[in-house]
Structures are given as C-alpha cells and as structure tokens.
Chain A
C-alpha cells in the first residue's frame, strides 16, 4: 500500500521549475518559457541527510568499540600478565568454533568500514558546505555554537591522524620506542614513559571527548530521536559519555607517566 502510493506520487511530479534570474534572456520577449531545471540522479547516498545518517550510525559503532577498548585498557592496572592475557584473549574469541583472530578481523573490518564511511561522509558534507558559502562574511559572530561543534571537523581530522599513529605505535609497534618484537604491555609502558607521546595522546583524547560531545548529540538528532523534551537529557548523556570515555582513556597513560604503573 505504502509503496503503491509512492509510485503514484512519483508519476505526478515533474521536475519543471521556474527560471531564475541568471537564465533570463536579455532580449525583450512577448512570452517567456521556463527552462527545465537540471536534476541530479537519484541515489540514496547523494542525499545530505543520508550522509549524516551514515555518520551517525558509523559514529555509534565506533563509540561502542571505544567503550570496549577503554575497558580493555584499564586491565593495565592489573599488571603485565593480565593485560597481555586480555590482548591475547581478543585474538582467540570464538575459538575453537572459528579459527584464531576471526572475531578480531571481523571487528577490524567493521571498524575500518565505519571509519572510511564516516570520513567519506564528513568530507563530502564538508565540500558541500564550502560550496554553500562561496563568498565568506567580512564579520561573522557565533551566537549559539559550542566549541565542540565548531571544532568537530578539524578535530576529526586530527583524530584520524592519531588513529593511524596509534595503530602503528601500539598495535604493530612499528613506531613504538620498544620496537615490534614486544608484548602489548611493553609497548604501552614504552610509549607512555615518553612525555611528548603521552602529551600527544592526552591532547588527542581531549579532542576525542569534544568530538564525541558534539557527535553524540548530533547522531541522536540526525537519527531523529531528539525533541524539546529530551534535549537536556541528550545533551547530558553526550557530556557524560564523552567525559567517561576521555577520562577512561587518559587514566592509563597518565598513570604510567606518573609512575603509578610500571
């Protein structure tokens, strides 16, 4: 029934629109005909709201991962054995039903797809926004926007670089002071005994917090789940989740830097 209705509606619409001033002829005419407006090809993913939804859904996937990741990190407080054991366990989830690392690779692929899709949608919307304001304002003030919402794009870009470095550092160890042939715990300690690395990490996590602060609210809004009544609650949740994740992540490196873990 619903589908049938759409088809009916579709047939009735034709894409003729008025001629805008730019296309008007310069010569006096007795009657003017309207030029049909050029239309873009329909496609789900060229729609700006769909792009936003892609960002929201992939963002949520990544937040869920981050929560799991953060909890995992806290194993560092239980010592090297526990931490390395946890690391090893991740690779063995599902064994013996599935071969080693199957689950890990599924997680990695889902995350990779999410990051790429999130990034693609962000870049695409960024480009659209730039097209939408070809001439900048001489003066533009902020009335409402928060620091978090304003920095969400640059913050996202820095986070992307951070993630690359982070994987090279702690997952593969190629840029880790302790080298590649080490245990996860060794790499962890090696990295965060180094003050510049720790600082970079902490700054990145604060950026992550800001990114999530705006992102969680935006995702809820994009998925059409906010309203006036819920607005305070959604904002509260956004603050709480981003704060917990940020604190959870910087706890371990700071503890290492201050010698609480060695």
Chain B
C-alpha cells in the first residue's frame, strides 16, 4: 500500500518545528509501524536527507521507549505500543499524522524524540521501597494476600512510555504516578513510606510541568498496559490520608 505521512520535524529543542509530508510506497501490511519508518529513514539517508529521529528499543512492547501520536491517538489505533502496531491497521492511500508526545514535562529533543526524564525524577522522589541491599528479611517472612499481590502487579506493569501524559487533555502524569503509588501501597513492604511516598511523588509531578488530573480517563484508554483509573483513586485516597495524618506536602 501507499501512504502519506505528515511527520513533525524539529531540529532541536530551541528551534521551531513543523509538519512535513512524506510519501511511502509498497508498504507491506505485515510491517510494524516502526519498520515502516525504518524504510522511510533508509530512503531519506540515501537521498541525503536527515532521517526522522524517534525513540525505540525492545520493539516488543515492554521497554516503553517508543511512543508516537498517530492520527491524534497516543500509540495509534490499537491499544498497544507503537512497536506492536502493524500496518495492516491502515489502508492504502491513508494520510497519517505523526507527532511527538506533547507536554511541558516532555520537551522535544528532536523530531519525535522527547525527554521523559521527568518520570525518573518522580520515581526518584519516592517511587521505591527503601530496602538497601542486604537488609532484606526472608522472602516468606510476610505473606501477601494473592488479591493484593495481583492488584499490585497490575499497577506495576506500567512501562513509563508517557502515553497517559500525551493523551491527557490536561497533560497530567497522574496515571504514571498513581500506578507506582498503588503498586507499592498495596504491599505490606510499602506501608512504612506510604504517606511520604505519595506526597513526594505528587509534589515532584506538579513541579515538572505536568497538569492536574480531571478524571477524564483518556490515559487509561490509551495505556498499552491497560492500567486502570482505580490507581488514581488509590493515589488520591493515600494522599488525603497522608495529609489527615499530618504529613507535610512536598509541592
């Protein structure tokens, strides 16, 4: 099939970007979306043009590197990462808009590549259980009810791709933050730091130019791991509980 791609091109963070049209021909429906971009890039290189920069790594939907706004939907028409999107989801003659994640917290590095280190700083602020190596008790010392453990796992599957922020009309990182708060807060090991964790993480999130959550649900709808809005409720619950307990917020 033949396609027209309108791709955001931006040389560097400080420069202004614009949408540029490209035509790709003989696209196989079995190609992944990123492979289609690979083919385009090889052609651009041979033509002496600058290839399109985009982040990708594992190409099996787990590393969270790839992330593109495809026709206005984070990760495109399937609820999976871009690397798992195949061209059979499109038809001959389609015009496809491809943009980077857009958020104050995710400045563009080049073309479709954004800087998501804000997510790392949110984790750094409190998204952990303090258990220095060597301090761990025997693994079976504390049984964890399967229900809690499974719910914690569901939240822990977040791959940090940033689709939630990209899709959110408010540019909020709440689903990302909440998935970690919920994961650790559901486990007995996570209790001692539970109050402090949520306050610090939300504080850092606010400091990173992400928006506030208004419970719209776009995030969960595009999340390739299907993280539930329930995690956000848990975060809210934890945060208000922490404040009632007299903790001092961090933002």
| A-to-B contact residues, CB < 8 Å | 2-3, 5-6, 9-10, 13, 17-18, 20-22, 37, 39-40, 42-44, 46-53, 125, 128-129, 131-146, 149-150, 152, 214, 217-218, 220-228, 231
By beta carbon, the residue of chain B nearest A45 is B249
Chain B residues with CB below 8 A from A18, complex form: 117, 120-121, 124
Knowing A18-B121, A144-B221, A221-B233 are in contact, say whether A132-B171 is a contact too (CB < 8 A).
yes
Contact flags B79-123 to A (C-beta < 8 A → 1, else 0): 000000000000000000101001111011100000101001100
Q: How large is the interface on B (under 10, 10 to 19, 20 to 34, 35 or more residues)?
A: 35 or more
CB < 8 Å: which of B6, B121, B206, B243 contacts A44? B243
Knowing A10-B196, A47-B203, A49-B202 are in contact, say whether A138-B218 is a contact too (CB < 8 A).
no
| B-to-A contact residues, CB < 8 Å | 6, 8, 13, 19, 69, 71-73, 97, 99, 102-105, 107-109, 115, 117, 120-121, 124-125, 167, 169-172, 192-193, 195-196, 199-200, 202-203, 205-207, 209-218, 220-222, 228-230, 232-241, 243, 245-251
By beta carbon, the residue of chain A nearest B203 is A47
Q: How far is the CB of A228 from chain B (nearest CB, A)?
A: 5
Q: Is the CB of B120 within 8 A of A149?
A: no
Knowing A125-B170, A132-B104 are in contact, say whether A46-B206 is a contact too (CB < 8 A).
yes
Q: Is the CB of B115 within 8 A of A53?
A: no
24 A-B pairs with CB atoms under 8 Å apart are: A2-B195, A13-B200, A22-B107, A42-B248, A42-B249, A43-B251, A48-B213, A49-B212, A49-B239, A52-B214, A53-B236, A125-B170, A132-B103, A132-B210, A133-B102, A133-B103, A133-B170, A134-B102, A139-B97, A141-B71, A146-B216, A217-B215, A222-B236, A227-B230
By beta carbon, the residue of chain A nearest B197 is A9
Complex A-B, nearest 9 residue pairs according to Cβ-Cβ distance, in ascending order: A224-B237, A132-B171, A144-B221, A132-B211, A48-B212, A129-B211, A141-B72, A129-B170, A139-B72
